[in-house]
Structure 1
């Protein structure tokens, strides 16, 4: 790599171009990288810098391409998805080794068979290495009874291959991939046995949901945005009915009535068991008068997931009320006026 040095004209005539050591150039690349959990958009300066380093030499191309696969695979359109797929078989077989991915190729509806097929193909290519996935896909735009093109099954075939996934965020729903309406299926993400972090939008907080959460042996953090059903069930009791594993739960923008009357404040379980620890926190996203709460919450969570900060969000911890012991019978009469 050649560096141009600004010197007076008479001095430059006697100097030759300076060559930086390769180790120093590679250090520039590594020092430019974001934190491990960050996903960058195509126009981000770091993405553009990495792309430039792929053109310098073989070694910088190798290091930059690895960083691009870890931080910069941001498929926000059908065109970007198609372009990547066309490159994998011939020009860029290394793209099979993507470890982190943002996926949002649909416009308004998933009723698009070619795009669904491309999503399935991409996930089949990358399933052996993909560990972190953020999707912004309107899976509720086509319900099972209206899926005349069979796109839901096509998408299922792709997502079920992600056996190494450790972190998953669904911006618009709870990963709604059921083939039958009210079919009683287990949540689709229960197929990913290595999942450690899960974030879903507007899930139904029913006993079956907590049964599925309890099945996830490696799950550590659960983020639920605008969840339903929190007034109807004691979520701690439902969860600990099936397992004894600790879990962090972050409830984002839940309804004020759910907070006031929610059963999770009045649960009954054995609080003395050190394994039965569920940390429940509420996190409020600021909303203004003209804001659409759906769009604001979804954008907020998506940006937090892209920046890698979502899993570190903290809020008001909901404390379980203390267990009261049965009062002992007094040995002598006590007046109501006694101090």
Structure 2
């Protein structure tokens, strides 16, 4: 006697990881099992495919990205992908066909996509050398992600400037539902914190090897620029390697206990290793952050809480 379909579907559900933020590669046993269930019957295929789109979409090369796009006409449900890891380029983004595929990917998935990790070398091609308009193509695609809630850029700050001086606003500012943001080597100056203060739903900000931290007082900049009616509640995790980053707490004229008496904004430091000369430390940071983003633990990391001024 065949098993009731409800029992089989319950088996599929029990396969799912306990952490809803995890990404599962194709080699993972759960991914392989879900793929097997797509071949059992129509109902198991429907349910397993939905979970594959939620946990297991790794577009880690140009051919994989192209194959995904070519599959949409025969499987329109691919448009409903909710989470993915995107790394379709090699050492440079000076590749117009791949950039166009990225734009098309976001055109198809922008309504459903809520979680995104990118490992794209956006700094490999600066605006003044972009003769194929690759950066404009990519920016147009990323700007469509209006429903994105969680985003990690492994290699940079989502560097999609179109001009040499970078007068365009950061693309992530156009994502109104963003709750979690992870950026690498961002210039965390006063303008950056002004933009962060305007993000209405942002809950967690992870900055890896950020610049300009020695020039700006974080809490003072945030609360100075926040809307009077904004309920600013934010966890800021500063990830570094080597020497402790210098936070100029002495620059603020008002102690943090007065700026933020309820402790709504928490600033923490997290050290992941010792400094190595050359690019080794850069690669170490990038690989570490990507692994933590993929296993779903990045947003729950804790660190050394930065103390208020009067206790320093």
TM-score range, shorter chain: over 0.9
- Tell me which of 216, 219, 222 is aligned to 1:236: 219
Q: Counterpart in 2 of 1:279?
A: 266
Distance in 2 (CA, whole Å) between partners of 1:294 and 1:50 is: 35
Structure 1 residue 258, shift from structure 2 partner: 2.8
Could you say what secondary structure the match of 1:70 adopts?
helix
The alpha-carbon distance between structure 1 residues 285 and 19, as it changes in their structure 2 partners (threshold 3 A), is same
- Tell me which of 144, 147, 151 is aligned to 1:161: 144
Q: Counterpart in 2 of 1:267?
A: 252
Distance in 2 (CA, whole Å) between partners of 1:178 and 1:302 is: 23
Q: Are 2:197 and 1:214 aligned?
A: yes
Q: Counterpart in 2 of 1:313?
A: 301
Structure 1 residue 183, shift from structure 2 partner: 2.8
User: What does the per-residue CA deviation read over 1:93-141, in whole Å, with 9 as the maximum and x for residues that have no partner?
Assistant: 0000010011000001000000000000000000001000000000000
Q: CA RMSD in A?
A: 1.9
Distance in 2 (CA, whole Å) between partners of 1:127 and 1:197 is: 17
User: What does the per-residue CA deviation read over 1:136-160, in whole Å, with 9 as the maximum and x for residues that have no partner?
Assistant: 0000000000000100000011000
Could you say what secondary structure the match of 2:158 adopts?
coil
Mark the structure with the bigger radius of gyration: 1
Structure 1 residue 268, shift from structure 2 partner: 3.4
Q: Counterpart in 1 of 2:170?
A: 187
After superposition, residues 36-47 of structure 1 pair within 5 angstroms as 36-47=20-31
Structure 1 runs not aligned, ≥5 long: 1-17, 325-339
Distance in 1 (CA, whole Å) between partners of 2:166 and 2:276 is: 38
Structure 2 runs not aligned, ≥5 long: none
The alpha-carbon distance between structure 1 residues 230 and 293, as it changes in their structure 2 partners (threshold 3 A), is same
Could you say what secondary structure the match of 1:258 adopts?
coil
Structure 1 residue 239, shift from structure 2 partner: 1.3
Distance in 2 (CA, whole Å) between partners of 1:66 and 1:159 is: 23
8 A Cα contact 1:253 1:284, kept in partner: yes
Structure 1 residue 322, shift from structure 2 partner: 2.5
8 A Cα contact 1:70 1:99, kept in partner: yes
Distance in 2 (CA, whole Å) between partners of 1:268 and 1:288 is: 33
Q: Counterpart in 1 of 2:2?
A: 19
Please give the TM-score of this superposition, normalised by the length of structure 2: 0.92
8 A Cα contact 1:265 1:319, kept in partner: no
Distance in 2 (CA, whole Å) between partners of 1:115 and 1:131 is: 22
Structure 1 residue 267, shift from structure 2 partner: 3.1
Structure 1 residue 235, shift from structure 2 partner: 1.6
Q: Counterpart in 2 of 1:303?
A: 291
After superposition, residues 1-339 of structure 1 pair within 5 angstroms as 18-34=1-17, 35-89=19-73, 91-243=74-226, 245-253=232-240, 256=243, 258-259=245-246, 262-264=247-249, 267-269=252-254, 271-272=257-258, 273-274=260-261, 277-287=264-274, 292-322=280-310
8 A Cα contact 1:265 1:320, kept in partner: no
Structure 1 residue 225, shift from structure 2 partner: 0.1
Structure 1 residue 217, shift from structure 2 partner: 0.8
8 A Cα contact 2:249 2:309, kept in partner: no
Please give the TM-score of this superposition, normalised by the length of structure 1: 0.85
